[in-house]
Structure 1
Amino acid sequence: MIYRHTEDGETELLFIQRARRKGDPWSGDMAFPGGRMEPADPSPRAAAERETLEETGVDLTNHGRFQFRLSDLITRQHSRWRPMVVTPYVYEWQGPQTELPNHEVAQMVWISLKYLAAKENQSKLPWRTPLGTVKMPCCRYQDYCIWGLSYSMLQELLKLDFEPGRFAPKATDASRFL
C-alpha cells in the first residue's frame, strides 16, 4: 500500500487495475501492487518492493518511506487449495509522479483516503459461489470496485489510530513498525 500527500493536504492511496487475462479470476479487479516472493528475494518486504517496481515503475527503495506492515492475510492461490499468506506493507511515496505500468496493470489510480473512508461510498458486490450468491463488502470509485483482500487491507488501514495531521499510526502502536 502506497500513500502520498497532495499539494492541497489530501492523502491518497495508489491502486492498480489488474490487466484482463484469460484464466485469471481477478482480471480487471482493483488491487494494491504486489506479487509472489522469488528465491532471490531476501524478505517478503523486499519482494513487495521488487513487485511494485516491476508492475508500476514506482521505486519504493529510492523514493518510498517504509511506515509499517498490516496484519497477514491467509488466502489461497487461484484454483489451488494450498494456503497463501499475503503480507501488506505501507509506504509513504516521496518521489516523482512517474508511473510506468507493465503488462500486468491496466491502469494506476490514486484515490483520496477521505473518499475511501466515506460511508456513502461503501457498497455490496454480488459474488457467485457454488453455494449461492454472497454480497461482498466493497468501496466503489467511479467505475472501479475495491473488494476482497484489497478491501480487507483498506479497512484495517482505515481503522488505525493516526497522529493529528499525519498519516501514520501513533507511536504507542509500536508492533506495526516491525
Structure 2
Amino acid sequence: MDFDQVIGLLERRLKGPLPGKEAHLKMSPQPVDQRRFDTLLPLNIRNSGVLILFYPDGEDTFFPLIKRPEYPGFHSGQMAFPGGKMEKSDENIIQTALREAEEEVGVDRHQVRIIGKLTDLFIPTSNFLVSPVVGFLDERPEFVAEKNEVSRIVQTDLKTLFSRETRKQTLLEIGTHIKLDTPYFEIDGEVVWGATAMILNELIQILDIQDF
C-alpha cells in the first residue's frame, strides 16, 4: 500500500467509530491501571497534544517517534510522539500538537495537513490527558531535534510497525517496588511501551493493513 492509499484510508476510517479502550488494553501494562479508563477524570487534569505525522520516503510511509532525554520525571528516557502540554496561547489541542512538533523536531506547522484524531488517553502518573492528532506532509521533512527535549528521532515506517517481530513482551521494573508485565513494540532497538504503544495499537487497528 503506497503513501496516498494510506492517507486515503486514514481519512475514511477516522470519520467512523474508533476502537479506543479495546485497542489500548491490548498494549496496556499489567496489572491495568483502571484510572486510565475512568469516565470521571480529575479536575486538575493537564491537556496534552501529540502529533502522529505521516510522510513518504521512497515507496514507504513513515512517521517520527522521539526519545526523551534522561531527567527527573515520569517520562524520562521514554519513547513518545512529538508533543506536549497545552498552553494558554493554543486555540485548541490540534494547535498544541502542531506547535510542540515544530519546537521538538523542527517540522513547519503550517505545512502539516490534519486528518483527524485518535482516542484521548489519560496517563494517571503524570495527570496528562493525551490527544493524538493525525496529520501528514507530502514530502519527507528535514527533522531537527530540540536537544533539551529530544535525545533521538526515530523515523518509523509502517512496515516495521505492522511486523509481528516488532511486538514483544517483558517485565518492566518501575522504581524499586513496581513490576509490570508489559507489551511493547521494539523499534530500531528502542522499547516503545505505555501510552505511546497503546496509541500505536489503536492506529494499527484503524488501518488494519494486511499487505504492503
Same fold, TM-score > 0.5, yes or no: yes
- Per-residue deviation at 1:131? 6.5
3-state SS of 2:183 partner: strand
1:152 aligned partner: 198
Aligned to 1:20: 70
CA distance 1:49–1:139, shift in 2 (3 Å): same
| Cα distance in structure 1, aligned partners of 2:167 and 2:121 | 21
- CA 1:25/1:13 → structure 2, altered by over 3 Å: closer, same or farther? same
Distance 2:208 2:162 in 1: 14
Q: How does 1:22-171 map to 2 (within 5 A)?
A: 23-61=72-110, 63-78=111-126, 83-95=127-139, 97-102=141-146, 103-128=148-173, 132-161=178-207
The alignment covers a number of residue pairs equal to 159
Contact 2:116–2:135 (Cα < 8 Å) also in 1: yes
Look up the match of 1:169. Answer: none
* Amino acid paired to 1:39: K
Once the two structures are overlaid, the 10-residue window that deviates more, 108-117 or 95-104, is 95-104
1:23-55, CA deviations, whole angstroms, 9 ceiling, x for partnerless residues? 123222111000000111110110111111111
Aligned residues of 2:55 and 2:140 also touching (Cα < 8 A): no
Where structure 2 has 5 or more consecutive residues not aligned to the other structure, the ranges are 1-51
Matched, 1:4 2:49: no
Using a 3 Å threshold, how does the CA distance of structure 1 residues 74 and 29 change in structure 2: closer, same or farther? same
User: What percentage of residue pairs aligned between the two structures are identical?
Assistant: 26
Alignment RMSD: 2.3
Name the amino acid aligned to 1:123: K
**Which ranges in structure 1 are unaligned for 5 or more consecutive residues?**
167-178
Task: Give me the TM-score of the superposition, normalised by structure 1.
Answer: 0.80
Q: How far off is 1:76 after superposition?
A: 2.6
Work out whether residues 60 and 93 of structure 1, in 8 Å CA contact, stay in contact via their aligned partners in 2: no
Look up the equivalent residue of 2:112 and give its one-letter code: G
Change (3 A) 1:37 1:132: closer
Query: For 1:104, what is the secondary structure of its paired residue?
Result: coil
Q: Deviations over 1:66-109 (max 9, x none)?
A: 1110001012353xxxx431100011123453211111001111
